[in-house]
Amino acid sequence: MNANSLGEARRVDARIGYLLASSTINRRFCAPHEDVNTSEYTEYPVNMRDGSGLEARFDADVHGFQLLSNPTTFSRWDDKAAIERDYEPEQLEVVRKFLGADRMVNLGHALRTTGDTVARDMKPAASEAHVDFETRAARAYAESLHAEHHPDAPPFSRFVAFSFWRPLTPPPHDWPLAVVDFRSVDPDEGERNVLVWCDEIPPRETWFDPIEGEEGFPAAFIFHHNPDHRWWHFSKITPDDTLFLKFHDSDHSRAWRCIHSAFRDTSEPNPNMRESIEFRGMAFFD
Four-point Cα dihedral 97, 100, 103, 105, nearest 10:
-60
Q: What is the pLDDT of residues 119-131, one digit of tens each?
A: 788 788 888 999 9
| pLDDT at residue 5, rounded to an integer | 62
Contacts of 94 (CB under 8 A, 6+ apart): 68, 70, 164, 242
Report whether pLDDT(233) > 90: yes
**Residue 26 identity (one-letter amino acid):** N
Identify the bridge partners of residue 67 per DSSP, sorted by sequence position. Answer: 243
Q: What is the pLDDT of residue 116?
A: 80
pLDDT confidence bin for 118, thresholds 50/70/90? confident
192-215 in b/e burial notation, b at 16+ Cβ within 10 A?
A: bbbbbeeeeebeeeebeeeeeeee
Beta bridge partners of 65: 245
Percent of the chain at pLDDT exceeding 90 = 87
Confidence bin at 49 (pLDDT 50/70/90):
very high
Asked if pLDDT for residue 73 goes beyond 70, the answer is yes
Name the CA radius of gyration of the chain, rounded. 19
User: What was the pLDDT predicted at 1?
Assistant: 47
**Residue-wise pLDDT tens digits, 1-15:** 454 465 679 999 999
pTM higher than 0.75? yes
Beta carbons of 225 and 51 less than 8 angstroms apart: no
Tens-place pLDDT, residues 239-262: 999 999 999 999 999 999 999 999
The per-residue pLDDT for 7 is: 66
> For the chain, which residues make up each domain, given as ranges?
9-52+64-202+213-285
Residue 113: strand pairing partners: 124, 275
Question: How do residues 78-113 score in pLDDT, each as one tens digit?
Answer: 999 999 999 999 999 999 999 999 999 999 999 998
Distance CA 221, CA 140 (A): 15
Residues 161/244, Cβ–Cβ less than 8 Å? no
